[in-house]
Amino acid sequence: MSFVFLALVAFALVREFRPAWGPIQARFRVAMERYGGTERARAFHPGIKQIWIPKIHTVDRCITCHLGYEWGSVLPTTLPQPLTPHPNLAYMDKHPFQDFGCTTCHGGQGWATSRASAHGDEGWNDPMLSSAIASRNGLQKGDLIQMRCNFCHRHAVTTPGMEQIDLGKKLYKENRCRLCHTVEGRGGTKGPELTYFGDKNPELVDFTHVTGTHTLFNWTFEHLLAPDQISPKTTMPTFRFTPQEARALTLMLLSWRREEFPPEYIPAPIEEPPAMPNSSR
């Protein structure tokens, strides 16, 4: 027992003083010295880094490894991950890191300091969104990020850069889904309520007739394509959605979650332009 105890103490000390992120930070300092100069390199102090945003209950330690995230003006985009700077996307000015963090858009567990714990895997309800996860569902990584954008943009009719979600909203309205489903206190009661559909626990879903992977995304996708095959007792009609339309609706439904954001995070909706009157007689 003494030897076991000493071994555990030694292991804990090694983990404490030789963390997995240590070599990454050493590489970052070398990169900063090469591209940003000695003064910037010396100003960097190793240790756990984090973005803490109490008003949205977010603690993101992703930047302990992803140190180049806001150094796009200094570091080249050719640096390998995790030191690659974040792309300078059009909407970044309105979504600064100090207000939104990392996991708000990318998913994952922000409090973790190891790659495995932070990124997660396909069995988690909220893993880090990746190209691998997207490809398994016939999507692009950006499509999954649109789903998280809709946490704040849920009530906007259209949002630039959210083409998949916008298509889902259009289909939801055109097919009059609210006649049977209650959403935010409005709608019918013939079908299940959908207000927080994205919070549905996959372990409570019947995958008996699902042919693909047993995920909430795939269950919803296959159900929209053929409701009576996935849920034989359902009263939901078959709308003959295309696979693209079913994916768009699935992304929209999974974005409907019980997320709390303060008013300043909710953008003013961009409404559809009014239809021009028909001047022909």
Query: What's the pTM?
Result: 0.83
Q: What's the pLDDT tens digit per position in 177-200?
A: 999 999 999 999 999 999 999 999
pLDDT in tens, the chain (281 residues): 888 877 777 666 656 657 889 999 999 999 999 999 999 999 999 999 999 999 999 999 999 999 999 999 999 999 999 999 999 888 899 999 999 999 999 999 999 998 888 997 655 567 899 998 898 888 999 999 999 999 999 999 999 999 999 999 999 999 999 999 999 999 999 999 999 999 999 889 999 999 988 889 999 999 999 999 999 999 999 999 999 999 999 999 999 999 889 999 998 866 655 555 554 43
- Reduced to 3 states (helix: H, G, I; strand: E, B; else coil), residue 259 is coil
pLDDT at 271: 62
pLDDT at 2: 86
- Which helix or strand (DSSP H or E) is residue 58 part of? strand 58-60
pLDDT at 281: 35
Cβ pair 267, 152 in contact under 8 A: yes
Per the DSSP assignment, residues forming a β-bridge with 60 are 51
- Reduced to 3 states (helix: H, G, I; strand: E, B; else coil), residue 187 is coil
Q: What's the pLDDT tens digit per position in 213-239?
A: 888 999 999 999 999 999 999 999 999
For 158: left if phi > 0, alpha if psi spans -120 to 50, otherwise beta; the answer is: beta
The class (CATH top level) of 139-265 is mainly alpha
* Residue extents of the structural domains in the chain: 19-119, 139-265
Residue 101: CB atoms within 10 A of its CB come to 23
What Cα–Cα distance (Å) separates residue 29 from each residue in 16, 77, 78?
20, 16, 16
For 200-224, give the DSSP string. Answer: --GGGS--TT--S-SSHHHHHHHHH
Residue 256: CB atoms within 10 A of its CB come to 20
